[in-house]
Amino acid sequence: MTLPADLLSVAPAADSARWFRRQVRTSHPRVRLVCFPHAGGAASLYRDWTEGLPTGIEVLAATLPARQDRFREPPVERMDELADRIAEALRPHLDLPYAFFGHSLGSDVAYEVARRLEQLHGHGPQRIFVSGASAPHVGEPVDIEAYDDPALIAEIQRLGAPHTELLDDPELAALLLPALRADYRLSAAYRPVLPELDVLHAPITALVGDRDPLVPVEDALKWAELTSGGFNHRVYPGGHFYLERHRPALLRLIQATLLSA
């Protein structure tokens, strides 16, 4: 596939490197999978995906401000700003067919970045995998201001997020909670375009746990209303972070979907 020259005009390499970590290194990838983490999450969520994906799939994981080696940067609390900045930083990486994977809040981010790429360049990702997320036009945001720090930590641990034991350390919690709260505020302020006004061309695959306390299966299925390019779904046993338990099966699904396209 030959991409338009304007799509490949390169954003500064240093800026792009700040936003993405190449988790799966391969010299001859066929497709690039760009992954977006959950609220408060980081690129390290996708670090172990190297074990389950073939060399034909290269993984780029988004690293957002206010976490990991960007923890000194202020968080972004508006979806339009975040999606604009990510879409710009992605430009050097669009020389291959590519797909998006987002978990929880990362699904909304993936959707908004895809919208921008389709609007600007006429096409976007070949597929979007949305995981653990209600469709943005039906989901109810969490009222983060109702949680003090101990209650917020307890809620995140109840949901089964990875590495939440770090929040038991007061010093680490002081570093991690601001990004988490900022992400929840971003989610609460997010107002998506209604499906009757705009839909994606990219096909969407919705993935959800059957006991997710935040995402009823029927709300995950509403992603079908946001694409004209085809929709399918898979329900896994488990809760909001079902993907930790079912990673091998999930990666097999991603591999079969992307490498058969």
Return the active site residues.
104, 240
Helix then strand count (H, E) for the chain reads 9, 7
Alpha-carbon distance of 246 to 132, in angstroms, equals 13
Residue 105 is which amino acid?
L
Alpha-carbon distance of 143 to 123, in angstroms, equals 35
Bridge partners (DSSP) listed for residue 234: 207
Buried-state track 40-75, b at ≥16 Cβ within 10 A, e below 16: bbbbbbbeebeebbeeebbbbbbbbbbbeebeeeeb
256, exposed or middle or buried, with CB in 10 Å at 0-12, 13-18, 19+?
A: exposed
Alpha-carbon distance of 147 to 149, in angstroms, equals 6
DSSP-derived 3-state class of residue 131: strand
